[in-house]
Amino acid sequence: MRGWDPARTPVREKDITLGVALALEEELRRDGLDIVMTRRTDTLIALDDRGRIANRRDGDLFVSIHVNAANPGWKDPTGARGFETYFLAEAKTEDERRVARMENEAVQFETQVDAPKDDPLGFIINDMAQNEHLRESSDLALTIQQALRGMHPGPSRGVRQAGFRVLVTAFMPAVLVEVGFGTNPTEAAWMNSPEGQRSIARAVATGVREYLAHYERRLGTGGGQR
């Protein structure tokens, strides 16, 4: 990107994701939607607590924004690019497991989490709650992925599934969006720009709107339950 100097403008996932999230909030508030943010500043919210924040506010949807990174062992790690949207289910491929491991590593920086430890009943209840929303989460992920395909400069890497801790405690349709590769210089420059962040936010907002329309039509015909 013209005018972008990686030496002067470092790529930090926390900055990109917050910028996209704030722009997404602005987009959706224009539609009259009530948006709950897990953070508005440079602060760490425990992975397990993010879904609980949405639960306490009776959220209808949960969208988590992230930046991907290539495996250094790949043949051309800086060449990896593109976007993908995940819902919570058992990973089917090694790359899905890789992304989940990478995103779940944030737990090592957490100092306090509200979650009870070693609670088998809580695990079963959580699992039942997530299974209830599995179809809706898959639909939400597909709709967001399709919306991103229409504007993202990188290739679509598809809808995927994996065991993300950030999604486990959200008892509602929930997805995690990897908006691009911070390890790709061109893609990183685009994501680091206000224009790129607004473009991503507009696309995700379009996906959310379309999903909500799908859901309301299903309810209207008596064929949808959440």
Q: What is the pLDDT of residues 116-146, one digit of tens each?
A: 445 554 554 566 566 778 889 999 999 999 9
CA 65/CA 89 separation, integer angstroms? 18
4 in a structural domain: no
8 in a structural domain: no
Domain count, the chain: 1
Tokens 């929930």 appear where?
Answer: 174
101 in a structural domain: yes
Instruction: Look at residue 115 in the predicted model and tell me its pLDDT.
Output: 46
82 contacts: CB under 8 Å, gap ≥ 6:
152, 154, 155, 156, 157, 180, 181
Print the domain residue range for 91. 13-220
Q: What is the pLDDT of residues 3-56, one digit of tens each?
A: 444 445 567 899 999 999 999 999 999 999 999 999 999 998 999 899 999 999
Instruction: Look at residue 113 in the predicted model and tell me its pLDDT.
Output: 45
For the domain that residue 214 is a member of, what is the CATH number? 3.40.630.40
70 vs 126, more confident: 70
CB 203 within 8 A of CB 211: no
Single pTM value for the model: 0.85
160 in a structural domain: yes
Q: What is the pLDDT of residues 98-113, one digit of tens each?
A: 999 999 987 665 655 4
Q: What is the dihedral of CA 208, 13, 166, 80, to 10 degrees?
A: 80
136 in a structural domain: yes
